[in-house]
Amino acid sequence: MNEQACLEFLARTRWEYGFRCPRCSYRWSWRLKLGLWECQKCGLQTSGTSGTLLQRSRRPLTDWFRAMWWAASQKNGCNAKSLQRLLGLRSYHVAWEWLHKIRQAMALADQELGSLKGLVEVGMAFIGDEKTAVGGRKALRNAKVFIAVGTIPVAHFNSGGCVRLQQVMDFSVETVTDFVFHNVDRHRSFVFTDSGEEYRLLRDKGFIHKVRRREEKPGEPGPTTLVLPHVQEIVDLLRRWLRTHRGAIRPNYLQRYLDEFAFHHNRRNSRDVDTIFYQLVEGITHCPPANSRPADAP
């Protein structure tokens, strides 16, 4: 694929239903040279990359496509060093920024999957505590994360259910209600939680909410069965996965890593790298450039 073909592919992905002017939403355009389109109404000249995460990128689009293809196939997560080697980039920081843009595209691609439906477990966890510390001086400690996981297989990916993860400032009633509201389809789901007080507003918000209480195992004094086994499984997997980024994660960037974990987890049974790659391209063309650089990049 050459540069022109990449630009055409981006434009086709971005304007799946035909050209739409980013300024005035007009549908008709003139086709100019060099992958440019001009709006017939307001005269704005635009390309497949303007107004997206790839806007003003100085590197060839072919490099971006290689990076996205590589990221789509890295089920165990990506790291900037490998990307730097792959593309022969001089700067580690450039590779780091690229990866974060790709992680933003992953978050958008997951939003496209829609809200969780069916039987959904919702729970919360501390990530990066003493026992599972990630990194050294600036280690992530006790970051608060909400987890929602569908427990019925999702036909499209033939998987055991999708997961949603969100880093939050607190575990308050409002925050948990907001998280569930934005990630679970209240008309087509049953929400299972533990008996925590934080979940008390879910029923008022229209969810069918079932509380699972701890039960003692017959014949065993003391030990309890896990009330949210799917949530616990995700937390264990996530902690193990984050350890592969030892020393690299700061609390400010945790959400990006959660997005990457969820993206791969939700496609873990799919061998169709073409589709995963296409979803990444879609994500990157739908993500505005304003979000492309974290406030305190290294």
How far apart are CB 42 and Zn ion at their closest, in Å? 3
Q: DSSP for 24-90?
A: T--S-EEE-STTEEEETTT--EEESSTTSTTTT--S-HHHHHHHHHHHHH-TT---HHHHHHHHT-S
How far apart are CB 257 and Zn ion at their closest, in Å? 38
Q: Which is nearer to Zn ion, 50 or 57 (CB)?
A: 50
Of 14-22, 78-86, 205-213, 266-274, the window that binds Zn ion (rule: CB under 5 A) is 14-22
The angle formed by the CA atoms of residues 125, 131 and 137, to the nearest 5 degrees, is: 100
Interaction residues for Zn ion, span 30-59 (CB under 5 A)? 39, 41-42, 44
Count of residues interacting with Zn ion (CB under 5 A): 8
Cβ-based neighbour number of residue 19 at 10 Å: 19
Interface with Zn ion includes 23 (CB under 5 A)? yes
**What's the CA gap between 120 and 194, in Å, rounded?**
12
Q: Which is nearer to Zn ion, 45 or 269 (CB)?
A: 45
Q: Which is nearer to Zn ion, 18 or 221 (CB)?
A: 18
Interface with Zn ion includes 21 (CB under 5 A)? yes
Do residues 11 and 47 lie in contact, with contact meaning Cβ atoms separated by under 8 Å? yes
Of 22-30, 158-166, 195-203, 271-279, the window that binds Zn ion (rule: CB under 5 A) is 22-30
Of 11-19, 23-31, 205-213, 284-292, the window that binds Zn ion (rule: CB under 5 A) is 23-31
Interface with Zn ion includes 26 (CB under 5 A)? yes
Q: Which is nearer to Zn ion, 41 or 250 (CB)?
A: 41
Interface with Zn ion includes 24 (CB under 5 A)? yes
**What's the CA gap between 50 and 288, in Å, rounded?**
9
Residue listed under structure tokens 């026992």: 131
Q: What type of residue is 111? A: Q
Q: Show the binding pattern over residues 199-218: x = contacts Zn ion (CB under 5 A), - = does not.
A: --------------------
Kindly state the tokens that stand for 225: 């069965």
Do residues 261 and 108 lie in contact, with contact meaning Cβ atoms separated by under 8 Å? no
The answer for residues whose C-beta is within 8 angstroms of residue 245's C-beta and 6 or more apart is 77, 79, 134, 135, 257
Of 15-23, 45-53, 161-169, 204-212, the window that binds Zn ion (rule: CB under 5 A) is 15-23
Residues in touch with Zn ion (CB under 5 A): 21, 23-24, 26, 39, 41-42, 44
